[in-house]
Amino acid sequence: MALMHDHLMQGGQMLLLLLLAPLLTGWVRTLKAQLLRRRGPSLLQPYRDLLKLLRKEVVLADSASWLFRVAPYLIFAAIWVAAALVPTFASSLPFSWSADLIAIVALLGTARFFLALAGLDVGTSFGGIGASREMMIASLAEPAMLMLVFTLSLLAGTTELSAVARFMLTADVGLRVSLALALLALIMVAIAENARIPVDNPATHLELTMVHEAMVLEYSGRHLALIELAASLKLLLYLSLLGCIFVPWGMTTAGEEATAYLLGVAAYLAKLGLGGLLLALFETSIAKMRVFRVDQFLSAALMLGLLGALLLFVSRSL
Amino acid sequence: MHAQSLQAILDAGQPVAAHRPWPRFVVTPDIWNTLIEGLADSAWTLLGLWGELGLVHLAVHEEGSGMLGVASLPCPAGCFPSVGRRHPPAQRLERTIADLVGLQPVDAPDIRPWLDHGRWPVRYPLGAATAPTTTMPPYRFLAVEGESLHQIPVGPVHAGIIEPGHFRFTANGEAVARLEQRLGYVHKGIESLLNGATLERAARLVGRVSGDSTVAYALAFARAAEAATETEVPARAHWLRALMAELERLANHCGDIGAICNDAAFALMLAHCAVLREQILRASAAGFGHRLLMDRVVPGGVAADLSVEGVSVLQSLVAEIRRQFPALVTLYDNTASLQDRTAKTGFVKPTLIRQFGCGGYVGRAGGRAFDARRTLGYPPYDVLKFEIPLRTDSDVNGRVWLRICEVEQSLSLIEQILQKLPSGPVRVALKTPGQPCESLALVEGFRGDILLWLRLNGDGTVARCHPRDPSWFQWPLLEAAIEGNIVADFPLCNKSFNGSYSGHDL
């Protein structure tokens, strides 16, 4: 009975993520439009876009190999699983033991690897440009991510996310410099990983400035739908990650009442809403940086992560 | 400085009767070559180079004396001494003459076709107009050699809704080694359409050469037609034309300042500037009955008079922009992330700007103080007070700032015009010339100086009309501006130039 209940919870969370992801994208877009004094599309527009793409025929380039066709499924699966590993409203789910930060980084790395390969596969110049820029970003974003994982694991004594979240809920965490540095680093990595301004512009039509969009320029139909959904899931993943590590309040722990779960979901939704608002505000107030400034931006994230970890070697109370 | 003045050189040729207001001379190859040497020595500036059956025309401007003249060289053998051989700005114009008229430049450094991509049903449409017999070989882009260079073809179909043009980048990673443009995708055959057209139809056609500059083009055509027929336009018409020209400049500058910032993903500026532009368009519609003021300037005057209500609408528009615009300038100036993108990006050497006689904001941001409104002082600008903003930084930021300053000047001009607007009729009938006559007009559009050469038949129909867009001398400089920049900065450079594809491809 308990086992079934747990699996239901886990399945429920996975479905919830899938359903929520386009809504989050729509929420950020609507907020950005309203900050520009535009009316903006409906919150449901991303769902309609996905449905439209799913119904459309797939147009394949003559030069596309099997890899190009398989990649969207692999990317989507990897990111969905990674997103499902992040505790959202409950910190104890059956997959918790596998909800390892390093596993999540690895899954995201896999998705990125296939996306870059797919960008190169069709042989257009834009795919190549996008893939090379993406790899430049990844070469700095991934170490930065790992550095902040080390910082957290030094503090919590584990890389398992639900344990980290439970640790963060305890009173003896307090205010720590290392955590502040890790938070900053994670935000910077999240911006770069999700192709947001100032690193990339998800709304641009200028093919020469694209990173993520350049790699997926050749995709259409259901392939594009999967990639778009994966991108939405990734944004959701990073916001959930920020919520679960740095603002875990409201999250239910094992063996609580049904009302506690409802409260957990409500708290989670509130966190997402706030995260989306902050993202929209930030993106509206800043211009995109030069491509060659991205490495400085991410080097700063890497240094912050490194500094956080080093501080903990100096003193566990920092 | 060249030994002889332009006047002295041209005087050696045969003056053509009834070419107004500046003279045209039929010249010998010797004089032609002397003119080319003068161009190469920067003694005068190239204004235009165009052809017709058996004749090439060269329009030049001598800055010191203000002399403006056209030299025409008969080409009985179907060829003429190349201007581009000594003066690179003429190269694309020569290639166009070869495409459209079939006259070949002798010893030209570049003989590839330019506008003709081999897809027209006719060859030499302005010359022999024969059916194409052979298929054109594939276009050869200039070779770039070196290690780890790769090519990035961009366009003519772009990811956004913009005009078509092909850009061939040769890059080393992100750094651009060379950019080569290929234009001509929106060639509409306007010059062929103009041949034999009535003045009324011709005015409408010229007003559609480049939609964003429709007032400036219509003004150039009207001034040329009036000069050819020696028609005096009522004073009120001159003032209303200037009013429309400034409204057009204002709308385009406001829109483009936002669009440049949007290319750096700073959508906030675009949103606010688009609101400003929309207000200007609505006020234009209220005042003159058309948002873009298309077909409002006609030969003989203007097609729509401004009512008293129209004056007050425009006055409140100026007040509204004066209220909103400074905040946007502050926003632009205080957003460090934006300045980081625009400053030092897309630098154009001032020597190149002078050599190409590049006008408009591109030229004035690089220190070339040419503005047809001031240099030629056509009415009513001769009695209006305004400054020609000038900068020397010549980068994207400089071009944005120059346009910000021009917005302020245009606002002041509109205010002055509304205050001093003379009363009276706004349109007169054009005189019928009776015999063939010719004229040249040069007016300042928002993008730069537009040259228009016109020859009328005795019955008042157009025998030949050649409009030259300012973009002809700006597009080549964009190729130079991107050198040493990175590929991802090209859209920003391109938008800061905002060359016209339509006006160039004609």
* Per-window interface: A 85-124 vs B, CB < 8 A: none
B275/A290 touch (CB, cutoff 8 Å), yes or no: no
Chain B residues touching A207 at Cβ < 8 A: 154, 158-159
Contact between A290 and B488 (Cβ < 8 Å): yes
Question: With an 8 Å Cβ cutoff, is B332 touching chain A?
Answer: no
Q: What count of other Cβ atoms lies within 10 Å of the Cβ of residue A239?
A: 25
Three-state secondary-structure class, residue B437: strand
CA distance B113 to B136: 9
CA distance B224 to B64: 24
CA distance A83 to A309: 25
CA distance A29 to B148: 40
CA distance B99 to B120: 11
Chain A residues touching B263 at Cβ < 8 A: 206, 209
CA distance B327 to B209: 35
Question: With an 8 Å Cβ cutoff, is A197 touching chain B?
Answer: yes
What's the confidence (pLDDT) of residue B484? 86
Q: Chain B closest CA to A309's CA: distance in Å?
A: 30
Query: Which of B158, B265, B337 lies nearest to residue A207, judging by beta carbons?
Result: B158
What's the confidence (pLDDT) of residue A96? 67
Query: Which of A201, A207, A292 lies nearest to residue B265, judging by beta carbons?
Result: A201
Encode burial over B216-226: b for 16+ CB neighbours within 10 A, e otherwise.
bbbbbbbbbbb
Q: How is residue B81 written in tokens? A: 């001494």
Q: How is residue B293 written in tokens? A: 């003021």
Chain B residues touching A286 at Cβ < 8 A: 266, 335, 337
CA distance B172 to B409: 42
Sheet containing strand B175-182, edge to edge, reads: B150-154, B166-172, B175-182
Contact between A104 and A149 (Cβ < 8 Å): no
In sequence order, which residues have a C-beta less than 8 Å from that of residue B247 and are 6 or more positions away?
A: B215, B280, B283, B284, B287, B293, B314, B414
What's the confidence (pLDDT) of residue A228? 95
CA distance A13 to B218: 65
What's the confidence (pLDDT) of residue B2? 60
Contact between A129 and A214 (Cβ < 8 Å): yes
Single-letter amino acid, residue B264: A
Question: With an 8 Å Cβ cutoff, is A129 touching chain B?
Answer: yes
Q: What is the pLDDT of residues B427-480, one digit of tens each?
A: 999 988 889 999 999 999 999 999 999 999 999 999 999 999 999 999 999 999
Q: Which residue, among B179, B263, B494, would best test binding to A if mutated, counting the most A CBs under 10 Å from its CB?
A: B263
Question: With an 8 Å Cβ cutoff, is A296 touching chain B?
Answer: no
CA distance B404 to B332: 10
Domain boundaries, chain B: 6-106, 197-468
Question: With an 8 Å Cβ cutoff, is B475 touching chain A?
Answer: no
Running DSSP on this structure, what letter comes out for residue A251? Answer: -
β-strand partners of B223 = none
CA distance B11 to A279: 70
Strand B79-81 with B68-74, pairing: unpaired
B173/A290 touch (CB, cutoff 8 Å), yes or no: no
For B279-303, the DSSP string reads HHHHHHHHHHS-TT-TT-EETTEES
Query: Which residue does chain B place closest to A196, by CA atoms?
Result: B265
Query: Crossing angle for the helix pair A177-193 and A221-246, nearest 10 degrees?
Result: 170
Running DSSP on this structure, what letter comes out for residue A252? Answer: B
A290/B488 touch (CB, cutoff 8 Å), yes or no: yes
* Predicted TM-score of the model (pTM): 0.92
What's the confidence (pLDDT) of residue B469? 96
In sequence order, which residues have a C-beta less than 8 Å from that of residue A198 and are 6 or more positions away?
A: A191, A286, A287, A288, A289, A297, B265, B337
B264/A287 touch (CB, cutoff 8 Å), yes or no: yes
What's the confidence (pLDDT) of residue A1? 58
A284/B268 touch (CB, cutoff 8 Å), yes or no: yes
Running DSSP on this structure, what letter comes out for residue A204? Answer: -
Chain B residues touching A201 at Cβ < 8 A: 265
Homologous superfamily, domain B197-468: Cytochrome-c3 Hydrogenase, chain B (1.10.645.10)
In CATH, the architecture of B6-106 is: 2-Layer Sandwich (3.30)
What's the confidence (pLDDT) of residue B330? 96
Query: Which residue does chain A place closest to B155, by CA atoms?
Result: A207
Question: With an 8 Å Cβ cutoff, is A35 touching chain B?
Answer: yes
Chain B residues touching A197 at Cβ < 8 A: 265
Running DSSP on this structure, what letter comes out for residue B433? Answer: -
Chain A residues touching B154 at Cβ < 8 A: 207-208
Which helix (DSSP H) or strand (DSSP E) does residue A199 occupy? none
A207/B174 touch (CB, cutoff 8 Å), yes or no: no
Three-state secondary-structure class, residue A138: helix
Above 0.85 for ipTM, yes or no?
yes
Query: Which residue does chain A place closest to B269, by CA atoms?
Result: A36
B104's torsion region: left (phi>0), alpha (psi -120 to 50) or beta? beta
Chain A residues touching B486 at Cβ < 8 A: 290-292
List per-residue pLDDT tens for chain A, 318 residues long: 567 777 787 888 889 899 999 999 999 999 999 999 899 999 999 999 999 999 999 999 899 999 999 999 999 999 999 998 888 887 766 666 777 899 999 999 999 999 999 999 998 889 999 999 999 999 999 999 999 999 999 998 888 888 888 888 887 777 889 999 999 999 999 999 999 999 998 888 888 888 999 999 999 999 999 999 999 999 999 999 999 899 988 887 766 677 888 888 899 999 999 999 999 999 999 999 988 889 999 999 999 999 999 999 888 777
Three-state secondary-structure class, residue A59: coil
A289/B341 touch (CB, cutoff 8 Å), yes or no: yes
Query: Which residue does chain A place closest to B266, by CA atoms?
Result: A287
Contact between B191 and B157 (Cβ < 8 Å): no
List per-residue pLDDT tens for chain B, 506 residues long: 466 899 999 999 999 999 999 999 999 999 999 999 999 999 999 999 999 999 999 999 998 888 999 999 999 999 999 999 999 999 999 999 999 999 999 999 999 999 999 999 999 999 988 998 888 899 999 988 888 898 999 989 887 788 999 999 999 888 999 999 999 999 999 999 999 999 999 999 999 999 999 999 999 999 999 999 999 999 999 999 999 999 999 999 999 999 999 999 999 999 999 999 999 999 999 999 999 999 999 999 999 999 999 999 999 999 999 999 999 999 999 999 999 999 999 999 999 999 999 999 999 999 999 999 999 999 999 999 999 999 999 999 999 999 999 999 999 999 999 999 999 999 999 988 889 999 999 999 999 999 999 999 999 999 999 999 999 999 999 999 998 899 999 999 999 999 999 999 98
What's the confidence (pLDDT) of residue B496? 95
Q: Please choose, from the candidates B228, B263, B182, B297, the residue with its C-alpha nearest in 3D space to the C-alpha of residue B493.
A: B263
Q: Which residue, among B174, B269, B270, B279, would best test binding to A if mutated, counting the most A CBs under 10 Å from its CB?
A: B174
CA distance B163 to B499: 10
Domain boundaries, chain A: 2-317
Rounded alpha-carbon distances, angstroms, from residue B209 to A295, B67, B191, B285: 45, 28, 10, 21
